[in-house]
Homo-oligomer: A and B are copies of this chain.
Amino acid sequence: MIDPTDPRSPSRQIADDLRNDIHSGALEPGARLPSERELVERYGTSAQTARQAVSLLKTEGLVVGMPGRGVFVRERPPVLRVGSDRYARWRRDQGKAPLQAEVEELGLKWRQEVTELAEVPAPEWVAKWYDLAPETPVFVRRRRFWIDDHPSQLADSYYRLDLVTGTRIMEERTGPGGGYRVLEELGYPLTRVREEIALRMPTPDEVRALRLEPGTPVAELHRVSFSNDKPIELLQGILAGDRYVFCYEMPVTD
């Protein structure tokens, strides 16, 4: 089954065959790929070569290996469309955090796990936006968001100490409406949001925390929340790339 005159290496030939089967639908999502031993027999290569072919598909994010069971065509998890009206005030008035509202509208379960509440020296980008000297202490809320019992986002919110000391932002539970509601009550209503999204592969820590399959990229989100042009919250998020679609809508300015 391997064509020695083909310029592609044997492992590439096998990988391309399997990829075709997946894209053509011959192998549907959830289906099991031929086992390593079957591939060896079918193509007449060594086991390592068959393994490398499958490994290629894994790094492409097309298949997932389950030790003892087999290699399976990945089923795309439910995707969350993160929209640009996420921050609308009427959502908070219903007592929900921005993401929570969006998730529950889709009929999915939602959970927030607070992993750390602490004073830390300000990271460089935080100091820059808050116009603080480097290393100035700031308050950080680190959370992990779960959607349908899957971890899907790591989110670290940084606040100025002079703004949030003594408020519910320093507590485990910020109360209905989330952190924005607290800031609003302090006299800092949210007026503008700036988001930057970069793409990269996850670190091993992130793979663990988000239970990412190999071949899943992440989005690194930096968000600046303004109240009348004054930054009031800075967020760094790591989002599982296969669970989010970012969606922005904007008028065209002159």
Contacts and interface: CB of A to CB of B under 8 A. Distances in A.
Contacts of A19: 204
Q: Which of A194, A202, A244, A252 has the most CB of B within 10 A?
A: A252
A87 interface: yes
A201 B245 contact: no
A172 interface: no
A249 B253 CA distance: 12
A10 interface: no
A2 interface: no
Contact of A199 (B81, B192, B217): B217
**Number of copies of this protein chain within its complex:** 2
Give the interface SS of chain A, mostly helix, strand, loop or mixed. mixed
A191 B245 contact: no
Nearest to A23: B203
A220 to B, nearest CB: 9
A193 B250 CA distance: 5
Nearest to A226: B252
Contacts of A88: 252-254
B200 A197 contact: no
A19 B201 CA distance: 13
Interface of A: 16, 19, 59-61, 79, 81, 84-85, 87-90, 190-204, 214-215, 217-219, 241-242, 244-254
12 contacts: A59-B201, A59-B215, A84-B250, A85-B253, A87-B252, A191-B251, A198-B245, A198-B246, A199-B199, A201-B217, A248-B250, A250-B250
